[in-house]
Amino acid sequence: MTELKRLGALAELEPHGQFSKWIEGHDILVYRLDGEIKAISNICRHFGGPIGYHKMKDGVFTCLWHCYRFSAKDGACLTNPKLGSRPYKVEVRDGAIWVQLAEEPAASQSHQSHLGPGGP
């Protein structure tokens, strides 16, 4: 389960330099920053909104629902530092974008997050 999954064609980055897509229960935001392709979770850990709904501006994504702001550099949440968005490993090959959904083996849903609650 730690293998790379094909998320989409490289061309899907156009015309906005970003796109988001669901794959196997993960909503992933892929974007180009300073010539590098990056990916973070598109699910805002506040209430679940889409981080990449608006086009990135000045290196920052603003979630549609409640305007939580995220650094495109590393997914850090600028509104609440405890709610950073998880980065995904990305590879580009054969004209496609591949992401690694899992770096750890599967677990039961009852396990607690190591990231912990961020609080309001």
Partner 1 sequence: MAVLFSRCEKEMDCSKEVVIWNYFDHEHVVGTHYKYYNKFNIVAEKDDWTLVERFYQLPIIGLKTSSYGFMFLENPNLIRSIQFGKLLVMDQLIHLTDLGPDRCLVATEYRLNVPFFMKPLEGLWKKMTERWFINTWDEDAPMRLRRQKVWNLGFRDFVGIDYVNQKKPQPADLPSRRPYPVQLPVPKTKGRKDGEYERPFATSVEVGYPKPEQA
Which residues here bind partner 1, judged by CB under 8 A? Answer: 1, 8, 16, 18-29, 41-43, 45-50, 52-55, 57, 62-68, 79-80, 82-83, 86, 101-109, 111-120
Which residues on neighbouring strands pair with residue 99, listed in sequence order? 5, 90
Q: How far is CA 89 from CA 5, 23, 37, in A?
A: 10, 14, 10
- Judged by beta carbon, residue 23 or residue 92, the one nearer partner 1 is 23
In angstroms, give the least distance from the CB of 34 to partner 1: 19
- Judged by beta carbon, residue 24 or residue 34, the one nearer partner 1 is 24
Q: How far is CA 38 from CA 7, 75, 119, in A?
A: 12, 10, 27
